Amino acid sequence: MAARGEFSSRMAFVLAASGSAIGLGNIWGFPIQVAENGGGAFVFTYIILTFLLAYPILMAELLIGRHAKKDTVSSMLAISSERTRPLAALTGVWGMLTASFILSFYAIVAGWMIAFFLAAGADMVGISDVKQWLTDFSLSRNIIFCVLFYLLTITIVSRGIAAGIERWSTRLMPMLLVLILVLIAYIATLPGAAEGWRVYLQPDFARVLDPKLVISALGQAFFSLSLGVGTMMVYGSYVSKSENLPKLGAIVAGLDIGIAILAGLLVIPAMYVALHNGVTIYNEAGQLIDSDGLIFNVLPALFETMGGAGAIVALLFFSLMTIAALTSSISMLEVPVAYAIERRKMPRAKAAMLVGLSILAVSVILIFNFNALFGLVVDLTTRYSEPLIGLLFCLFVGWVWRRDQILGEIKQGFEGAEHSLFWRIWPGYVRFVCPLVVLAVMAQSFLA
Ligand code: TRP
């Protein structure tokens, strides 16, 4: 069998994994959740949940993956016992399907980002009917840009780990950081921005334990770290045995939180600048305009009010979104592609094309039945599947995978792991705390 790919350095892994984690969830989802859930209170709960719950599960996935160095189904089988094999295989397959369905809706939204990016360009050169088409919600526009986004994703994944995923993540992630900083700095100078900063940074502590807020923060933490589908497992399988995984995992979680917080510093002040410029950001009921409205109506309306600078800011903003989406979508596609390569013995290029086009077919179905299906697929995958699969990962690591083997795996690249704080806390954590908290939060969300 051909040699498996591997990330060529620590930095390459950190950029690829944080590229996966940092996506539309950070730059679009997070600021909106903040705005809807009491500003700083949400930020606070989100950070706590990321460290207490999401990081331990991230570590479970990374360790399983690096231990087995295989696709997710094979990796789950490698840590299972005789009796749990069927459940292990089922968990792997379910994760793979969930990753595919997440990609099916994610790529549609990503396609809109490309369209809005081009619309800003069309605006600059003054072709307004093209701009109109690019920003209108039509079948043709939705399909064309979704297909374009798949072609980008498939092309990168078909090149493999080092020459595809790693190369593009290391190119795109620094660009993302620069773009976000430039935009924050610019927006901060505009009238109205200060009010946004204030709302964002002042936590309303009374709301920190509001059940709706906690459920949203947990969902956000899971989605944002790409957990519960095997993405991090498969990226973990490409990490060298000489790396200290608990440390790398912590860096990735930290970067993910950091960029989410920066995105808030961009989008929330931008909303208040929009308000200041006369754009409506609240509906009649006094609630914030819903999520797509915010990105696709409020912000473009804001850019319109900025005069000449507006088109440039729009161009930068939507290229930021497209980059963030692309480094995430490749990590989703890699889950089923690794399976097709390793268990179905397909060459990578063929696997990427075949799997990618099949998921594209699902996206097209979603586009044609947008109102009936889009929200349903988002909910089923992100609210139910991801937490449940995350729970199963924890149960496997906590109860099935042999302790000595887990320690052996952590010790690779982390000598003295058995005396570390990580080893003292984490095993009991994935065994008891994570499953119970996930269950409690899910039960809440059924009752709520
Ligand atoms: N974490 C990414 C974001 O915040 C999305 C993502 C990438 C993802 N891979 C995933 C979400 C796997 C769930 C599962 O946008």
Domain boundaries, the chain: 10-447
Ligand 1 centre to CA of 306 (Å) is: 32
Residue having the nearest C-alpha atom to atom 11 of ligand 1: 226
Average pLDDT, the chain: 92
Query: Which atom number of ligand 1 is nearest to the Cα of residue 24?
Result: 15
Ligand 1 centre to CA of 308 (Å) is: 34
Q: Looking at 186-200, 207-221, 283-297, 314-328, which range is the least confident one?
A: 283-297
Q: Looking at 44-48, 80-84, 229-233, 365-369, which range is the least confident one?
A: 44-48
Ligand 1 centre to CA of 68 (Å) is: 22
- In angstroms, rounded to a whole number, what is the distance separating the alpha carbons of residues 248 and 71? 20
Q: In the 3-class helix/strand/coil scheme, how is 198-229 assigned residue by residue? A: HHHHCECHHHCCCHHHHHHHHHHHHHHCCCCC
Q: Name the residue type at position 5.
A: G
Supply φ then ψ for residue 386, to 5 degrees. -60, -50
Residue having the nearest C-alpha atom to atom 12 of ligand 1: 226
Q: pLDDT tens for residues 428-437?
A: 999 999 999 8
- Helices and strands (DSSP H and E) totals, the chain: 23, 0
What Å distances lie between residue 104 and 158, 365, 375, CA to CA? 18, 9, 12
In this structure, the residues whose C-beta lies within 6 A of any atom of ligand 1 are 20-21, 23-26, 99, 102, 223-224, 226, 229, 231, 328, 331-332
Query: Which atom number of ligand 1 is nearest to the Cα of residue 324?
Result: 15
pLDDT at 300 over 80: yes
User: In sequence order, what are the residues at sequence separation of 6 or more whose Cβ sits closer than 8 angstroms to the Cβ of residue 447?
Assistant: none
Tell me what the mean pLDDT of segment 327-337 comes to: 98
Residue having the nearest C-alpha atom to atom 9 of ligand 1: 226
- C-beta atoms surrounding 3 within 10 Å: 5
Q: pLDDT tens for residues 363-407?
A: 999 999 999 999 999 989 998 899 999 999 999 999 999 999 999
In the block, which residue shows the tokens 């596609």?
A: 333
Supply φ then ψ for residue 159, to 5 degrees. -80, -15
pLDDT at 180 over 90: yes
3 state DSSP class of 70: coil
pLDDT at 141 over 50: yes
pLDDT at 199 over 90: no
Predicted TM-score (pTM) above 0.85: yes
3 state DSSP class of 288: strand
Instruction: Please report the pLDDT score of residue 448 as a whole number.
Output: 62
- In angstroms, rounded to a whole number, what is the distance separating the alpha carbons of residues 357 and 147? 9
Q: Name the residue type at position 338.
A: A
Q: Name the residue type at position 426.
A: W
Q: What number does CATH give the domain 10-447?
A: 1.10.4160
Ligand 1 centre to CA of 336 (Å) is: 15
Ligand 1 centre to CA of 387 (Å) is: 13
